[in-house]
Amino acid sequence: MKEKGISFRDKLLSDPDRAGSIGSKFPRLMNWLNSNALSRAFMEKTVGIHRRKMLPKYHRGTFEAWFEQWRRSNPAPGQPVAKVAFYTTCLVQFNNPDIGRDAVRVLHHNKVEVAPGYKSCCGMPSFGIGDLEEATKKADANLAYLLPLVDEGYDIVIPSPSCSLMVRQEYPLLAGDRDAARKVAGHTYDLMEYLKKLSNEGKLSTEFEGEFGEISYHLPCHLKAQNIGYKSRDVLRMLPSARVEMVEQCSGHDGQWSMKKEYFSLSLHAGRKLFRKLEKKKSAAVVSDCAFAQMHIAQATGQESEHPVSLLARAYKLK
């Protein structure tokens, strides 16, 4: 990065908050441009994003706006079993609000007080292209917002493995205030890891309904790298009649890498073992904690997948 600088494409892809703020105001236009053959051909020629790459969809408004409205009619439990600040992530904030809605409803159903915890993108896209200055700036901004919440007794819960990895493992190495980074990291959990923690403490309701059958669970690489075990699989196995098969194969998405025209085909090749297993299995449900992996699975196989928390929301009859 120091030798060659940052290309326009990398600047564009490493700033999801800017793209998301535009997309959430004009979702129909943005989604049309991202699916129209002519605009995608132009995008490939000028920006270098492959014309066939499935891109995240945008929604009117942000998750944060929905949450503020939701909690006006859903006050915090009188005697909460725990308090969490929900670090939304840019993907949930602008592109996958259903993950956040399901997470908040499941936490609230289990008498957990939920507060907003999103300041800005975690910095992983900048970190991934070697822009350490920008990644550090985002880390410091997020820590300044999250540290007071931790001091008030909140745990930080994150629904995306890449973002939880960034906060827990990279912030203590990047941040200007390393002590603050270590303190926040020590109180940060992946969403399903936190639900498993509640279960271990006897605080997670097991009053589930429905029949779930075969579930193929894709273990994301950035979750595996955190060495926290198989929390999502363990929680999913609590669902009625659930038979969970874990698939430990990389999806090949790798953040913004698979979006680039020179790597898109290679990214599908990298994920072929995962795709073949899912196509062969044909489970009733395919789940992954990683929204990018979900998108790549849909791209390669045509199978829709969802976050594990969405199955819990269904089992609790919250959706």
Angle between helices 27-35 and 37-46 (to 10 degrees): 80
Is 7 inside any structural domain? no
C-alpha 195/C-alpha 155 separation (Å) is: 12
User: Beta strands of 80-128 (E only): which ranges?
Assistant: 82-86, 112-116
The model's pLDDT over 170-188, given as tens digits with 9 standing for 90+, comes to 999 999 999 999 999 999 9
Q: Please give the pLDDT value at position 63.
A: 94
Please count the structural domains in the chain: 2
Same domain, 151 and 260: no
Same domain, 263 and 137: no
Closest by alpha carbon to 289, among 63, 92, 151? 92
Q: Please give the pLDDT value at position 282.
A: 85
Q: Pairing mode, if any, of strands 214-218 and 82-86?
A: unpaired
| Domain finish residue from 176, 199, 222 | 199
The model's pLDDT over 131-169, given as tens digits with 9 standing for 90+, comes to 999 999 999 999 999 999 999 999 999 999 999 999 999
Q: Which residues pair with 188 in a beta bridge?
A: 156
Same domain, 270 and 300: yes
Residue-range definition of the domain harbouring residue 128: 63-199
CATH of the domain at 140: 1.20.1050
Same domain, 185 and 232: no
Model-level pTM?
A: 0.95
Is 46 inside any structural domain? no
The model's pLDDT over 84-131, given as tens digits with 9 standing for 90+, comes to 999 999 999 999 999 999 999 999 999 999 999 999 999 999 999 999
The model's pLDDT over 273-290, given as tens digits with 9 standing for 90+, comes to 999 999 998 888 999 999
Q: Please give the pLDDT value at position 319.
A: 81
Q: Please give the pLDDT value at position 111.
A: 97
C-alpha 105/C-alpha 313 separation (Å) is: 7
Q: Please give the pLDDT value at position 276.
A: 95
